[in-house]
Each structure stands twice: as C-alpha cells, then as structure tokens.
Amino acid sequence: MTTPPTTGARPDEARRHNRTALLRRLHVDGPATRASLAAELGLNRSTIKALVDGLAEAGAVAERLPAQRSGAGRPSLLVLPRPHAAVVMAIDIRVEQVAMAFVGLGGDILGRHSWNLHRRSREPGEVITHIADTAKLLADELDVTAVGVGVSVPGVVRRSDGLVHEAPNLHWTGVALGERLSAVLRVPVGVGNDAELGALAEHVRGAARGSSDVVYVSADVGVGGGVISSGAPLRGAGGYVGELGHMVVRPGGRQCYCGCRGCWETEVGEAALCRALALPEDAPRGAVVAELRSLAASPEAVEHRLGEFTEWLATGLVTVVNVLGPEQVVLGDLFTALPEQVVDRVREVVRVRSLVSRAVGGTRIVSSPLGRDAKLVGAAELAFEPVLGVI
C-alpha cells in the first residue's frame, strides 16, 4: 500500500489562513499588541507585521497607544478591530418577541430594536416582512450596511439552508426561512436553533469561554439545549440536535405538544414555573421574574414553592451530564432568574447523582451572564463565521 503524496499549503493559502486567525483573535478577544499576537498565534513578528499592515490598509484594524503605560521605553501599540469594517445583522425570533441588532467587528452592538409578536404577527410572512422593513430603517439610522445575517429560531433547523423543519411554539412547519430572508435582505443568511446559538454565544463571549465541552440549557416558553463538544458545536444528522426539553422524565406526566407525556419541558418550562409560583400559565415574563426575585429573600419560601420544580430541573440535568459529559452547564434565559438557592441545590444533586460529574471532578453549573442577549449574540457570531475569512 503506497502513501499518497502530500503537498504543503501554498503561500497565498497560508497568508489567508493566518489573516483569518489574526482577525478572529481580535474579534473575539479584543485588542492586543503585535508581540502578544505573535506569541498567541505562534507566528514570527515579521509575519504579524505584514498581516497587521495589510488589515490596517484594508480598514479592518487600527493601532493606538494603550491607555496605561507600564515600564520605561517606547510603549507597544495595541492592535484593535474597527467595528464598522464589517457589520452583521443578528435576529432573535422568539415566541412572543423579535429582537434585532447590528453588530460590528469585535462584537460591539451598534444599534438594536425589538417588537412583540401576537397570534397573527407570528405568521412567517408577517415576521419576514417586519424584519425587512425594520432592518432598512435601522440600517439607515446607523448608516451601516450588513454583510451577513444570523437568525436564531426556537425550533428544529436545517443548518445547510436555514429550513425551519418545525417550530411548534410558533406554529411553523417547513418554513424556508434562510432562503426567504436572503431574497429580501439580499445578503447571505444563516439560521440556527436558538439554544445552539446560545451555546455558541456562551462559548465565544460568555460563561463558557475557555471550556471545550459545554451544554447550554435555556427556558423560554419551551426548553432547549445547545452542545459544544471538543470545542465545536455538536449538530447531529442534518443539524438536528439539542431538543433536550423533550427527554421524557416523567412517564405518564403532562401532555406535551410534541405528542409525548412527561417531557422535561412540561416540568421545568415557563408554564411549569408559573404553576409552581401560583401564577397563571400565561403570566407576563416580568411578573414571573418579579415573583422569583421576591422569593429569593426567604429560603423557606423558595423550598416550599420551588422544591418540586428544583428536583425536576436537577433530574433532567443529571441525565444531560451523564449522556454528554460536559465540564460546564450554562443555564440561560428564564433560568437565570432562579434564586441562587435553587441553583445550589441543583449543583448538589448533579454532584451526588451523576456518575460522570463525579468522574470529571464535578461539572460546573452556572447562570448565563449574557441573559436574554445570549441568542442574539450567538446569531451575530453565526453571521461572522463566513465573513472573517473574506475581509
């Protein structure tokens, strides 16, 4: 058996790879000196100089003196991304609201807008029209042009073309969202499951920076999950993965819209939390959050009102940790409003009941610092993925 010949990368390919790596480093981690960039990327200083000079000439980066000097001698210049050099549009479609933002290179949010959805305005055509109209108004106001779009959707999404196979809480089935939005916005559009993009956001800019194996679990109307495995998104066949809310944890339990009974979502979703708090299942989000905050001051009240809810949340997370073996679990959306006493109890239950958690020395369970912006941030990063290689 002969070994096929191998060839090294052509100089132009190597330069393009290094240029993209440098730009991604600045986009994700912010300003750095040329010396720091050379050390982090494993490149010599002359290569870094050529790359920085090229990006500066293209208007993608700038250099300036640091705000604070240390030591004697000439200070090293900081290289920093220029936000307006590449701007993307991020869209987070929720069951009750759509949020939109224009985001510049480096992750700066340049401007944003949101609007509520009602039964009629949830129709795909209505949502797409409103997005297109709002995008034009906001772009004109900010004097920017988006070079790409990322969209977060609470449903099962085919990443190759942005087909929303099913978004039950929106009552969408078979919606070619990526193609339709690209046609009206006239730029490339990427569409992802909301929890998957939440995981991406936490991995790049949130609580999971530096972690290679992460599960992001969020509660809105439903419950979803996103998985980062060995530093990359876990997507499954066709990109369909992460429906953690539909693990059956209570056989014979409440009917779920998916057709099963006792799904995790029926025990820890927004409606379940409202029942635990003795609120109507359709109570406004603000009322739910306010009730949770008022409970936090009384440990006895937290245990009395949220004890069963806490056990179901922990039960599901034990299974998630045993199956996926993450080093970290990030709780997002409505879960970020839970009293710390609840999160502490969940940590303890997972530590005791999960064999995998014990094996890895304890899976960290934290609340998202990005809050409701996580999926918007993830949508922006989805849009930036193809952009950074062509600036």
CATH class as words, domain 85-194+375-387 = alpha beta
Residue-wise pLDDT tens digits, 199-221: 999 999 999 998 999 999 999 88
Q: Is the pLDDT of residue 234 over 90?
A: no
Taking residues 87-94, report their average pLDDT: 97
Q: Write down the pLDDT at residue 73.
A: 58
Q: Write down the pLDDT at residue 42.
A: 95
Report the percentage of the chain scoring pLDDT > 70. 95
Q: Write down the pLDDT at residue 2.
A: 46
Greater confidence (9 vs 83) lies with 83
Taking residues 235-244, report their average pLDDT: 77
Nearest-angstrom CA–CA distance, 331 and 199 = 10
Q: Write down the pLDDT at residue 72.
A: 57
- Indicate the pLDDT class of residue 1, thresholds 50, 70 and 90: very low
Nearest-angstrom CA–CA distance, 286 and 331 = 18
- pTM for the model stands at 0.91
Residue-wise pLDDT tens digits, 137-157: 999 999 999 999 999 999 999
- Indicate the pLDDT class of residue 358, thresholds 50, 70 and 90: confident
Report the percentage of the chain scoring pLDDT > 90. 81
Q: Is the pLDDT of residue 25 over 70?
A: yes
Domain ranges of the chain: 11-64+76-81, 85-194+375-387, 207-369
> Mutual orientation of helices 45-57 and 34-41 as an angle, nearest 10°?
120
Q: Given strand 223-229, what is the order of strands in its sheet?
A: 232-233, 223-229, 214-219, 328-333, 364-367
Q: Write down the pLDDT at residue 159.
A: 87
Q: Is the pLDDT of residue 257 over 90?
A: no
What length is written for the chain? 391
Side-chain half-sphere exposure of 328, counting CA atoms within 13 A: 22
Backbone angles phi, psi at 262, to 5 degrees: 75, 25
Nearest-angstrom CA–CA distance, 24 and 2 = 38
- Residue 103 token pair: 């985001």
Domain 11-64+76-81: which topology? Arc Repressor Mutant, subunit A (1.10.10)
CATH class as words, domain 207-369 = alpha beta
Is there a common fold for 11-64+76-81 and 85-194+375-387?
Answer: no
